[in-house]
Amino acid sequence: MATTTHSYFVDRGAAASQPLDLWPPIVITKEMIDAEVERLAAAPRPAHGRREVLIAHPKAAAPGLGLAPGIEVKLSVLKPGERTAPFRHNATEVNFCIRGAGHTMVGGKRIGFALHDVWNHPSYTTYWHANDTAELQVRLTYSNAALLQKMNIHIVEEDPPPVAAVALEDPESVGADDPRRKSPFGTFQLSEDGAWLMPYETLINPPSVVSKALHWPWAQVKQHLDKLEALGKDYVGRRLYLLYNPMTGRTNGNTPNFFATMTIRPPKIVDRPHRHTSAAINYYFSGRGCSTVEGTVYEWKAGDLMLSAPGWAVHNHASYDEYVYELTVQDQPLNIVMESLLWQESLKHPAALLGAEPGFETNRGKLSAAE
């Protein structure tokens, strides 16, 4: 017999709203990462072949050990000739090669990657990684697994069997107009202001969008990124490109949960202070600089990983005397879907709810007109 579980009530009538308890920024240095890479490489090979560790924030608590509250970051190592066992889960991933090279098989597609390449993994798609080079392979993986674990819905399958396409019933065998198969009422408008009603048959069969594994080779991305230096010091925007996955549509993502951007910062460039409810994690792979977050300055260099923008913290970044290149992963698409993406591009102006109302403009058009 099942044990009865009781809910409880929390009186909020007299409770004042609580201020945000922002996670403090944190810099995981190149030296710390290199030491962990060497430890993983020296350890015995696990049965599933995945030499990996989570990079968790000190404030993270299980379940869901993220570097930001909903963003899991994993450091993975493969020695020459090694391959991981097949694996799948219902999280989506952004993968980034920070050392060496190799290839990944995702849903039967082979992605050969090199240093600083980025590729995505769709949800519930079987994949494995291989190191077919003579050098150590090191990857960073960003996923929404931490969020799914908080929700208690992270579904993981080790070494899953091949999955055949689901055979659908032939409509002719049951009759395309069989009333048991389709609501006679369909989806229809209920009120003049736009409320509708939808039947169960449509609820459980939403329009599907193919989610592909895509690859953004750094050698090609850099060619376009370097052209943004021509915008000059008067440009008030950020010199970056989103590694865009068209299936994410208006949410501007690399996966439905994250965007991944590549940024170039010419020497002595200082961004405007701004803030957003999405969290941002930066990996700097060239140059040096600093980030100011809620008034505190954090210095970073090539090879450092940083939680640079805890949700809704005022921040900006600056480069020193060298060119900076960085990958930024941020849970903006998720916040757009949830209608929670508050974004304040300039502290002199009000915040906007991006995705639900008009966003912001930079001065790029004026600079182009002046050329």
Indicate if 225 and 151 belong to the same structural domain: no
pLDDT of residue 369: 46
pLDDT tier for residue 5 given thresholds of 50, 70 and 90:
confident
Indicate if 141 and 48 belong to the same structural domain: yes
pLDDT in tens, 64-77: 999 999 999 999 99
Position 67 in a domain: yes
Position 85 in a domain: yes
Range of the domain at 283: 215-355
pLDDT of residue 148: 98
Position 197 in a domain: no
Indicate if 234 and 300 belong to the same structural domain: yes
Indicate if 236 and 343 belong to the same structural domain: yes
Please give the average per-residue pLDDT across 37-51, as a whole number: 97
pLDDT of residue 367: 63
Q: Is the pLDDT of residue 370 over 60?
A: no
More confidently predicted of 109 and 173: 109
- pTM, 2 dp: 0.92
Percent share of the chain, pLDDT over 70: 92
pLDDT tier for residue 368 given thresholds of 50, 70 and 90:
low
Position 77 in a domain: yes
pLDDT tier for residue 270 given thresholds of 50, 70 and 90:
very high
Please give, one letter per residue, the 3-state secondary structure of the chain: CCCCCCCCCCCCCCCCCCCCCCCCCEEECHHHHHHHHHHHHHCCCCCCCCEEEECCCCCCCCCCCCCECCEEEEEEEECCCCECCCEEECCCEEEEEEECCEEEEECCEEEEECCCCEEEECCCCCEEEECCCCCCEEEEEEECHHHHHHCCCCCEEECCCCCCCCCCCCHHHHCCCCCCCCCCCCCEECCCCCCEECCHHHHCCCCCCCCCCCEECHHHHHHHHHHHHHHCCCCCCCCEEECCCHHHHHHCCCCCCCEEEEEEECCCCECCCEEECCCEEEEEEECEEEEEECCEEEEEECCCEEEEECCCCCEEEEECCCCEEEEEEECHHHHHHCCCCEEECCCCCCCEEECCECCCCCCHHHHHHHC
Least confident of 23-32, 165-174, 329-338: 165-174
pLDDT tier for residue 34 given thresholds of 50, 70 and 90:
very high
